[in-house]
Structure 1
């Protein structure tokens, strides 16, 4: 964080802090709901909230038991408000994707973009669509795109730069990839970007991939 003069606090970039949960106003701690333990989910954040989408937990009781129709997956979206320390499960409309593990996600303004991922059985029920959830209106929609889409993959990295959505790497469950695809968010057209490097100068095929903004 910055102090009053705008300077960064010492250790800001290399200090972990555990975020605690507090009950919303008027509720007791016993009635506070938080996301169940999971893996394979995706987290994105802006200056106000942390969003958690999807995930997997094979423990029947931990994952919600009979109340979770998508067991062992989580077909749900959660929001953590930094200022209040409160979790909230966001009830959305529209078609939420069913590939709920190892997808890629990025927050672009008020829109959560989700691409790819895998369902049950893992590696045999993959996706290659872009689903968009407007977190203000709480509604999902499928982004209709042109061009040749990437393969149905999971474990890929994804980032938005200058109006383009880039997808790198991933796996079909059997074949690992270092392919780089780009989606023009204005024209909604996919293109496959071919590297100029020789084959021995490319990243190794691996899972999972990660990305960060420069």
Structure 2
């Protein structure tokens, strides 16, 4: 592992960077071999805001597929990742815990379940009635999942679906 003062993350696009506490967490993306370089080793790029330094840390567990255009959001010390494009569209949900640096697959990609397999959607965390939810909104994709009532779908693959994921139930 590179020292904190020497390490600089690989240039990339199609990634997300999520803030938890005093740190930014950056995973996958495309360009400059990011997807290939992380294929055999699951590494998380971490930026310490007060120090202004980057580090690359190994992770354990089941990381999401190496994709670009995925959605991400933080709830407490967990970062959730949905969908993306990498060897096809995905609609898998994964969770990364920033305390343990461990991944957990919450839902694998499937062409027969909602939401649509897609990239470039939006995911936000919502807290109401004492529960944490993730809202997955819109995106571009291709899937045989049934269309959502009142959602709009374009022949370009764009949609405005809205799906809620209740964290405590895992659905």
Normalised to the residue count of structure 1, the TM-score between the two structures is 0.62
In structure 2, stretches of 5+ residues that fail to align are 143-155
Greater RCO (CA < 8 Å, at least 6 residues apart): 2
Match of 1:83 in 2: 50
Cα shift readout 1:121-162 (whole Å, capped 9, x = no counterpart): xxxx111111011111111111149xx530111100000111
CA distance in 1, matches of 2:16, 2:42: 12
CA distance in 2, matches of 1:53, 1:152: 19
The answer to which structure has the higher strand fraction is 2
2:84 partner SS: coil
Normalised to the residue count of structure 2, the TM-score between the two structures is 0.76
Number of aligned residue pairs: give it: 147
Cα shift readout 1:5-64 (whole Å, capped 9, x = no counterpart): xxxxxxxxxxxxxxxxxx64xxxx5xx01101110111111330111111111x4xxx37
Match of 1:114 in 2: 81
The verdict on how the C-alpha distance between 1:81 and 1:114 changes in structure 2, with shifts beyond 3 A counting, is same
Whose radius of gyration is greater, 1 or 2? 1
Match of 2:137 in 1: 168
Q: Stretches of 4+ moved more than 2 A in 1?
A: 67-70
CA distance in 2, matches of 1:69, 1:161: 31
1:177 partner SS: strand
CA distance in 2, matches of 1:69, 1:130: 18
Give the superposed CA RMSD. 2.5
Match of 1:156 in 2: 121
In structure 1, stretches of 5+ residues that fail to align are 1-22, 190-214
